[in-house]
Amino acid sequence: MVYSLTDFGSGKRVKTEDNTLVIIKNDFIGDYILFRNFLPYIKQSQKYKNFKIILIGNITWKNVAETLDAEYYDEMIWISFDKLFKDLGYRSRTIKSILSRGFSTLFYPVYSGDPYTELFFISKIQAQEKIKFSPSSLETLTTIEPFNVLIHTSHPDLFEIYRYKEMFELFLDTPITNFEWRTLFSPSHSYQSVPEKPYVVFFPGSSAYLKRWHTSNFAQVANYLIHQYNFTVVLAGSKKDNKHANAIIAGVDVSVQKQLIDLTGKTSLLDLANLIKHSELLVTNDSASIHMAAALDKEAICVFMGENYGRFAPYPKEIYAKGKFICPADVQLLVKDKGEYNTFLSLDYNPNINAISPEAVIAAAEEVLRKKQTTTTV
């Protein structure tokens, strides 16, 4: 394997650092927004309260973890996991220091797992215990080989927050009675100013193109909200979303283009949270921004495919009641047929997110804004 060229010495025995817990989180921003709510329980636990906690994390959410969660980690190591498996020079530089260390316990709290991370990264790290939270059936595991302790979920159909709750209860041997969102704000951070005029936030990006509602649909919704409410529309996301923002701006009426502000690639994650907090409404794909809105208890509309309905969206009302989640009609029919309060789907096809009409989102926006207006005036 080509990685053997960059991982020279990975098989050499190294000294184990006593009472060390290394947590590996290679997943995306939205996942970390959910995960971080359970961090206090590690330091409070009898099992790990005297351990050195080391995070090996995805560099995409470094801003959040370093600003808000530093008290829960004794050391943070940041990795661009995409580059780790594509750029041999970067891998060589990054992995050398990690492979020179040994740990007491390694914990990989990523339910779905990632074969490259497991086989070509975790397998190289030396730890006395390597723990993975897994489906109840071993046959559904991505891989077993790097781990010597498997914690099995009681049920495959759980909303992700409840899955993390169960994961931490089993990992720490302690019950967690209530879920509470941890703040996304820090007094030490200097936040960017937000528009003075009432505004809505559009987040047209997502981690996969199949999960992105077409920019022409966003443009129709923007046209409506500007003409009907005179809102400013703020376009947010990463630098990669700049092309989506340009397409939305080009798609609205020329007369209102000045009421769109493109902030894609111009805000940190903490600034994005602040932007959402002070908005009238968030309109987004299935992305990190909907999890931020949930943590902030802000009004939002999320358009999502529904291929894993019930895992990340829609949110259970008892956790987040101000969000509206719209999926394609064929998925909604399957949900309706099941007739259950908490429905879970694992579809063997990719629903067409663009089957969701702009009119459906506009209707949801009207409902949210009317309710908000009524609550404000009462």
Give the Å distances, CA to CA, from 360 to 174, 215, 302: 44, 15, 11
Query: Is 185 part of any domain?
Result: no
- Alpha helix segments (H runs only) across the chain: 29-35, 39-44, 62-68, 81-84, 88-99, 115-120, 160-172, 215-229, 242-251, 269-277, 288-296, 329-338, 358-377
**Domain at 68, CATH number:** 3.40.50.2000
**Domain count of the chain?**
2
Query: Is 45 part of any domain?
Result: yes
Are 228 and 310 found together in one domain? Answer: yes
Q: Tell me the residue range of the domain where 83 lies.
A: 2-172
Query: Is 177 part of any domain?
Result: no
- Note down pLDDT in tens along the chain; length 378 residues: 566 656 655 567 789 999 999 999 999 999 999 999 999 999 999 999 999 999 999 999 999 999 999 999 999 999 999 999 999 999 988 988 899 999 999 999 998 888 889 989 999 999 999 999 877 654 444 446 789 988 888 887 899 999 999 999 999 999 999 899 999 999 999 999 999 999 999 999 998 899 999 999 999 999 999 999 999 999 999 999 999 999 999 999 999 999 999 999 999 999 999 999 999 999 999 999 999 999 999 999 999 999 999 999 999 999 999 999 999 999 999 998 877 667 899 899 999 999 999 999 999 999 999 988 877 655
Cβ count near 25 (within 10 Å): 22
Query: Is 183 part of any domain?
Result: no
DSSP label at residue 36: G
228 vs 209: CA distance, rounded Å = 30
Query: Is 240 part of any domain?
Result: yes
Token readout for 80 is: 């661009």
Tokens 């996942």 belong to which residue?
Answer: 31
Are 58 and 158 found together in one domain? Answer: yes
257 vs 160: CA distance, rounded Å = 38
Are 215 and 312 found together in one domain? Answer: yes
Instruction: Give the pTM.
Output: 0.93
Are 131 and 225 found together in one domain? Answer: no
